[in-house]
Chains A and B, each alone.
Chain A
Amino acid sequence: MKLVQSLSAILVIGTATVQAQPQPDPQPAIRVTSDTTEFCDHLSRYFARISAGHHTVPAASRALADEGGRLCAQGLIRAGISRLRMALYRLRPNR
């Protein structure tokens, strides 16, 4: 009987340990400013400025930038930002 009780205790403790999530500081979460619509617009403008300095802008890069702008407009901010960053990445000459 003692053995059964011991096993039950181990199971309960183990379950509690696993279910317990990491507890960071109780301070409020800090907002990341690079996941906002403003940053998306900033990226779009930055792409436009950079691409204006290029003689030829790769079609794939422009397509990514356009898609990123559309996604941001649709509220899918992080996906749009990701496309815009990829577009900028493809513009780099030493890529």
Chain B
Amino acid sequence: MPDAAGGETAADAAAGDAVADAAGGGAAGKPAGIDRPGRLARWRRWNRAAPSPVAEEEVPAPNFLRSAAVRFGVIYAALFGISAIALAAFLWWSTAGLLERQTDAAILTDSLGLTERFAEGGPKALVETINDRVLGNVDDDALYLLVDSASQRVAGNLESWPLRMAMDEDWDELRIERAGVASLARIHYFELPGGFRLLIGRDVELRSQLRVMMADAMFWAAVIALILGTIGAWAVRGLFRSTIADVSATAMAVSAGDFTRRVRIAGHEDEFDLLAETINDMLDRISSLMDGVRQVSNAIAHDLRTPITRARTRLEDAAIHATTEAELRAAVDRAMLDLDGVVSVFQALLRIAEIEAGARRSAFAPFDLAPLLTDLAELYDAAAEERGVRFQTSIPATLPSFGDRDMVQQAVANLLDNALKFSPADTTVQLTASLTPGGIAIVVADQGPGIPPEDRNRAAERFFRGESARSTPGSGLGLALVQAVAHLHGGSLNLDDGAPGLHAVLTLAGRIKPEAPRSITIASK
């Protein structure tokens, strides 16, 4: 029984610490294979604002890219850079690239006309056409040169044939001089019948200047994008780090044993808030479970100390004062009874633990609950009669269910035991069962003292005993076992005020269908 007035003893504290170490992975219970000090030290480096409860230790400097925050930042910068490059490539293709394609198309069109003229009228017609085109070149960008087999200039507006051309390609760029000013030309080279060679080109100096200007603009745009991307990546990294800093600080505090710490909720109702709420819920649950474990440990220590001490006292007394073998045997028998009680408590605890672990689920099978309840009613009807208590039942003819028959029987028996134990004479205990939308409801109602409202939530805890139950025999494990059975069967245990008495409702989930055996069909040829 919990010692509410006595406070926590040294033994309790030691037990609690042991539990905390086992559950929290404390220093004493450090899991093998996890470099916890190193991990915490890394966190401290990233999160210097959160002082660590763990002593400083010398660890090697972490790799910069091992930080998730840095990786996120780099990914952001990479995406930003890729977007900028894609945009620049499109702009280049749609401006400088377009001009280049237009120039090449104009040269090709020009060359088609000239070769046709050569084919129709020979060199003379070609010379006339070239002269006409040079005279009428309003755009002032056309370049022509026709030379004979001796590379002597025949027509055109270029002074001489280039000394070296990329003969493996038809296209080339050529430096020219226009009115004393250097310029750049895009040229196309043809060989004509009779050893004639024709060069057609366009002055692309303006286009070249435009290309340089665009390259400059794109370079500086890339520099700006790089700077902005770096700043953005740094900001993303900082945002990420600040967001998880509180989570890491809380996790470190909890791992060091401070279960009161919780993650701060920013109130943005975003994913991080959801994560923080989930972590806090998890910590609440862990804290609650650890409190329960600690409480049970304390209860075991207190409740078992009394019978063990009593047995020891009996044996000691018999050893000192017994004068006959009969007296000694009687003392040993009484001590054995006390120790049997201790063993039964441990058995009940192990049974509850077994149920809560779900190990009994393998014993689940379909069964009819109605005959089970009827048998129990017959058994407890006689006991009730002995105590002067009326026993009434209302059980349907059949209640198909699925679960562990023995466990359900034990749970209902515990409820009936409690009801009869606390029912005064000339009162009524009712056992009713019915099918409900939520499953099968088994109600055990008595007209005893009931459970005060402030104790009802704790009544199903292990070793809990209310004020009115202290004078009656029992270990305080009966309702805990009932609740464990209810949970095992997907149901619940509700304790309500029976006005007067207790109204205990054990709900078992509806019929649970076992997995159908898989059938394999083999097609025959």
Contacts from A to B (Cβ < 8 Å) = 2-3, 7, 10-11, 14-15, 17-18, 21-22, 24-25, 27-36, 39, 43, 46, 77-78, 81-82, 85-86, 88-89
Given A14-B223, A33-B158: A78 and B140 interface contact (C-beta under 8 Å): yes
On whether the beta carbons of A34 and B173 are closer than 8 Å, the reply is: no
Q: Which of the residues A21, A29, A81 comes within 8 Å of B176, measured between beta carbons? A: A29
On whether the beta carbons of B136 and A89 are closer than 8 Å, the reply is: yes
Contacts of B216 in A (CB 8 A): 18
Contacts of A29 in B (CB 8 A): 175-177, 182-183
B320, CB-defined interface residue at 8 Å: no
Q: Quote the shortest CB–CB distance from B189 to chain A (angstroms).
A: 13
Q: Quote the shortest CB–CB distance from A95 to chain B (angstroms).
A: 11
Q: Which of the residues B134, B140, B159, B215 comes within 8 Å of A30, measured between beta carbons? A: B159
Q: Mark B218-237, 1 if CB is under 8 A from A, else 0.
A: 01001100100010000000
On whether the beta carbons of A31 and B177 are closer than 8 Å, the reply is: yes
Contacts from B to A (Cβ < 8 Å) = 64, 134-138, 140, 143, 156-160, 162-165, 173-179, 182-184, 208, 212, 215-216, 219, 222-223, 226, 230
Q: Which of the residues B134, B158, B175, B226 comes within 8 Å of A25, measured between beta carbons? A: B175
Contacts of B223 in A (CB 8 A): 11, 14
On whether the beta carbons of B140 and A81 are closer than 8 Å, the reply is: yes
Residue of B nearest to A81 (CB): B140
Given A78-B178, A89-B136: A30 and B219 interface contact (C-beta under 8 Å): no
Q: Quote the shortest CB–CB distance from B509 to chain A (angstroms).
A: 59
CA separation between A46 and B184, bound complex, in Å? 29
* Extra pairs beyond A18-B216, A35-B179, A81-B140 (7, CB < 8 Å): A14-B223, A25-B163, A27-B175, A30-B162, A32-B177, A33-B156, A77-B179
Residue of A nearest to B177 (CB): A29
Q: What are 9 pairs between A and B in contact, CB < 8 Å?
A: A2-B64, A14-B222, A22-B184, A24-B184, A25-B175, A30-B177, A32-B143, A32-B158, A81-B140
Q: Quote the shortest CB–CB distance from B312 to chain A (angstroms).
A: 73
On whether the beta carbons of B135 and A21 are closer than 8 Å, the reply is: no
CA separation between A67 and B80, bound complex, in Å? 55
On whether the beta carbons of B177 and A86 are closer than 8 Å, the reply is: no
On whether the beta carbons of A25 and B174 are closer than 8 Å, the reply is: yes
Contacts of A43 in B (CB 8 A): 135
On whether the beta carbons of A30 and B160 are closer than 8 Å, the reply is: yes
Contacts of B140 in A (CB 8 A): 78, 81-82, 85
B interface: dominant SS: mixed
A interface: dominant SS: helix
CA separation between A46 and B136, bound complex, in Å? 11
On whether the beta carbons of A85 and B136 are closer than 8 Å, the reply is: yes
Query: Which 9 pairs, one residue from A and one from B, show the smallest C-beta to C-beta distance?
Result: A34-B157, A29-B175, A29-B177, A35-B179, A18-B219, A31-B159, A27-B163, A35-B178, A31-B177
Contacts of A34 in B (CB 8 A): 134, 137, 157
On whether the beta carbons of B179 and A78 are closer than 8 Å, the reply is: yes
Contacts of B208 in A (CB 8 A): 22
CA separation between A73 and B480, bound complex, in Å? 117
On whether the beta carbons of B159 and A32 are closer than 8 Å, the reply is: yes
CA separation between A31 and B174, bound complex, in Å? 11
Q: Which of the residues A14, A21, A27 comes within 8 Å of B219, measured between beta carbons? A: A14
Contacts of A27 in B (CB 8 A): 162-164, 175
Q: Quote the shortest CB–CB distance from B39 to chain A (angstroms).
A: 24
Q: Which of the residues A17, A25, A39, A78 comes within 8 Å of B162, measured between beta carbons? A: A25
CA separation between A92 and B158, bound complex, in Å? 26
CA separation between A33 and B157, bound complex, in Å? 5
CA separation between A39 and B216, bound complex, in Å? 37
Q: Quote the shortest CB–CB distance from B484 to chain A (angstroms).
A: 58
CA separation between A12 and B326, bound complex, in Å? 106
CA separation between A34 and B222, bound complex, in Å? 42
CA separation between A78 and B163, bound complex, in Å? 26
Contacts of B215 in A (CB 8 A): 18
Given A35-B179, A78-B179, A85-B136: A25 and B157 interface contact (C-beta under 8 Å): no
Contacts of B176 in A (CB 8 A): 29-32
CA separation between A47 and B351, bound complex, in Å? 119
B163, B173, B175, B223, most chain A CB atoms within 10 A = B175
Given A14-B219, A46-B135: A30 and B175 interface contact (C-beta under 8 Å): yes
On whether the beta carbons of A85 and B159 are closer than 8 Å, the reply is: no
